[in-house]
Chains A and B, each alone.
Chain A
Amino acid sequence: DGGITQSPKYLFRKEGQNVTLSCEQNLNHDAMYWYRQDPGQGLRLIYYSQIVNDFQKGDIAEGYSVSREKKESFPLTVTSAQKNPTAFYLCASSTSLTLAGETQYFGPGTRLLVL
């Protein structure tokens, strides 16, 4: 079955530690996205990528980094510079980065907690 996988389901971060969230898709989509979800709020865009080796900052990129070395993979690193990392992180993909009616497909999410 085609879809998006995210791992791990839960992740614990210690103070000063960088952690990496995995996102893999087998939908052959060009565009991939990372969103952050906080309780009682909508999703906010962290980073997005249209093609391999290219990515752009979203609305809340500070304290995060990404890479796009393969079309299928878009890992997100939460660095120690992100002072409030506790949230639910969602990865998404779509065939087109800019077509308005294009559906974005979401993975199951990773919940990040700070120890």
Chain B
Amino acid sequence: GDSVTQMEGPVTLSEEAFLTINCTYTATGYPSLFWYVQYPGEGLQLLLKATKADDKGSNKGFEATYRKETTSFHLEKGSVQVSDSAVYFCALRYQGAQKLVFGQGTRLTINP
């Protein structure tokens, strides 16, 4: 079945470091891909998305490119801040499907 695999956390970085959180997916066809962020004690917020191959989603300095050939959607940010500390979820959804399929989440902690 369809699945999403994220790099295991927790990930701890210093402020201003470069961030990569890997996400790969197993799916038939071409789903839409999403990154959601969850701050402590809160619900999920959409961070960015891409709906077709080679699309790049970006928001708040974060970027991710839909790579069909490697079935990946890695999240990157050039310079992280303490306020970026959160849990990040990669997810996919097919046309006609009701649900999002989520990865297990990656906890990110940024130290000042």
Contact, CB under 8 Å: B99 / A98: no
Interface residue B17 (Cβ < 8 Å from any Cβ of A): no
Interface of A, helix, strand, loop or mixed by DSSP = loop
Which residue of A has the minimal Cβ distance to B55?
A: A101
Q: Specify which of B4, B34, B42 is in contact with A109 (CB 8 Å cutoff).
A: B42
* Interface residues contributed by chain B, number (CB under 8 Å): 28
* Interface residues contributed by chain A, number (CB under 8 Å): 29
Instruction: List B14-53 residues whose CB lies under 8 Å from chain A.
Output: 31-32, 34, 36, 41-46, 49, 51
Contact, CB under 8 Å: B43 / A107: yes
Q: Which residues of chain B are near A104, meaning CB under 8 Å?
A: 46, 100
Interface residue A115 (Cβ < 8 Å from any Cβ of B): no
The 5 closest A-B pairs by CB, nearest first: A42-B102, A101-B51, A106-B43, A100-B95, A100-B32
